[in-house]
Amino acid sequence: MAVAESVEQRADSFVRSPHRLLIDGEWVEAASGQTFETINPATEEVLAEVAHGQAEDIERAVRAARKAFADDSPWRRMNASDRGRLIWRVAELIEEHADEFAMLESLDNGKPYHIAKAADVALAADLFRYMAGWPTKIEGTTVPISALPAPGEYLAYTLREPVGVVGQIIPWNFPLLMAAWKLGPVLACGCTVVLKPAEQTPLSALRLGELLQEAGLPDGVVNIVTGFGDAGAALAAHDDVDKVAFTGSTEVGKLIVQAAAGNLKKVTLELGGKSPNVVFADADPESAIIGAANGIFFNHGQCCNAGSRLYVQKPIFDDIVAGVADQAKQIKVAPGTDPEAQMGPLISDEQFEKVLGYLDSGRGDGAEAVVGGSRHGDRGYFVQPTVLTHTNPSMKVEREEIFGPVVCAIPFDSPEEIVPVANDTNYGLAAGVFTRDISKAHRTAKRLRAGTVWINTYHVFDAAMPFGGYKESGWGREMGHQVLNNYLETKSVVTAL
């Protein structure tokens, strides 16, 4: 009788296998034959070699996606119920391989295994399961019209149709989950796609590609091209791509918009943030401390919606800051494969140096670290959970997105003054409010210019809740029924009777 493989063995077997591009249902080498290394951020050692896709590979993938979107293709002929069942099967397969996915995320991204399994993998499966219900509910409407100045009797209705070939570019902070956020709705709407994962974390997307094939997805519906920014730029600029969806930094998002201008392809963007987390004097201290710590330290602070500006009303400022600092001191910083790890390394040497640069800048400008403030250990891209005080809006640490476990704690006087201060940013992705006063909570939430506002909690997500930002935090929404608008066209049909 064969002995079942452990999760470590299954993950190791996949890591050691060849990592090619998925194009038109086949796993193929990059046209150039080149590969690149993906690094384990906890050890700074090479984890795997991955096919280095470039513009020629994007061209091949787009052609495959266009062929799969043809009117007579198996995908376009598939009815809505069957499409929903296929998406549901993807959710089941993710759950069946949950341990393996969590280990891949831990090795490739650095996040703790148990957190990856409970959050990233579980939410990815739930997203596909939620989207599986939508194909049979994408409906048009009948419209009563008068047709003046051409009187008569008419039948008028609308159709909702897939936008076509979609280019999707995802980041490295939630590799599997971001792939799910993108692929779930695009499949529900009946589009075809070329997915470009982040070069730092390609492994879980490639494993997901294998499961999509196992689920029975027709060839060419989902194509996966691993590579760097040049591949993403080629995808965004390609004239046979009808829509591009990007999650990442605001700076790159602006480049995506420029690249998409050639054929005026539709664009949705989920970008950066510098989110305010507001704690009023009447807040429950324990929940505020836990919420503030979770708001910044979850996923090593590598969250676009991290509560990185912590505003605390002066009567409780010292107590809340001390409590958050105590939470930071208790966090076990270790490789994600350590069973006791609560925070892993940052994703890369580049991000590690960037965050340390912000800490140096903050110190130089007069900020004080109540806790943390430097690297953790001498191997791997680990940074201490950090709470800064004595910052001001002129400092980069308070104004710019750090994307690391660093929070600026800022006192304020009256409830009336805080909303304009919280809104004084180019971003508008998320915000938090902590108070026992239900009226104050909802008044504040209404006035905050952010796509998501959490009250007496932070970092709560659901596949049914739309997520996205105001201002330079992006265009459009992920998740919920609103995400379907990203991938559908509306057609009006008018018939004289």
For residues 318-340, give the mean pLDDT: 97
pLDDT tens, position by position, 368-426: 999 999 999 999 999 999 999 999 999 999 999 999 999 999 999 999 999 999 999 99
Q: Residue 49 is part of which domain span? A: 7-271+474-494
Residue 316 shares a structural domain with residue 418: yes
| Angstrom distance (rounded) from CA 277 to CA 356 | 23
Q: Which of 304, 401, 472, 478 is catalytic?
A: 304
1 pLDDT tier (thresholds 50, 70, 90): very low
CATH label of the domain that carries residue 313:
3.40.309.10
Instruction: Count CA atoms within 13 Å of residue 44 on its CB side.
Output: 10
| Angstrom distance (rounded) from CA 435 to CA 319 | 15
pLDDT at 16: 92
In the beta sheet, which residues pair with residue 28?
21
For residues 101-122, give the mean pLDDT: 97
pLDDT tens, position by position, 424-461: 999 999 999 999 999 999 999 999 999 999 999 999 99
Residue 248 shares a structural domain with residue 285: no
Residue 388 lies in a domain: yes
Residue 218 shares a structural domain with residue 365: no
Burial 465-481 (b: 16+ CB within 10 A, else e): ebbbbebbbbbbbbbbe
Q: In which residue are the tokens 């997500």 written?
A: 461
pLDDT at 301: 96
Judge whether 270 counts as a catalytic residue: yes
pLDDT at 3: 47
Q: Which of 270, 398, 401, 478 is catalytic?
A: 270
Looking at every residue in the chain, the average pLDDT score rounds to 97
DSSP letter for 482, please. G
pLDDT tens, position by position, 259-289: 999 999 999 999 999 999 999 999 999 999 9
Residue 39 lies in a domain: yes
Judge whether 304 counts as a catalytic residue: yes
CB 76 within 8 A of CB 254: no
Residue 91 shares a structural domain with residue 132: yes
pLDDT tens, position by position, 289-300: 999 999 999 999
Residue 2 lies in a domain: no
| Angstrom distance (rounded) from CA 207 to CA 19 | 9
In the beta sheet, which residues pair with residue 439?
none
pLDDT tens, position by position, 214-243: 999 999 999 999 999 999 999 999 999 999
Q: What's the number of domains the chain is made of?
A: 2
pLDDT at 468: 97
159 Rama sector, left if φ>0, alpha if ψ -120 to 50, beta otherwise: beta
Question: What secondary structure does DSSP assign to 331-370, as a single string?
Answer: --B--TTSTT-SB---S-HHHHHHHHHHHHHHHHHT-EEE
Residue 359 shares a structural domain with residue 339: yes
Residues whose CB is less than 8 angstroms from the CB of residue 5 and which lie 6 or more positions away in sequence, other chains included: 13
Asked whether the whole model's pTM tops 0.85, one would answer yes
| Angstrom distance (rounded) from CA 336 to CA 102 | 10
CATH label of the domain that carries residue 29:
3.40.605.10
Helix (H) or strand (E) holding 157: strand 154-162
Residue 464 structure tokens: 């049914």
Residue 467 lies in a domain: no
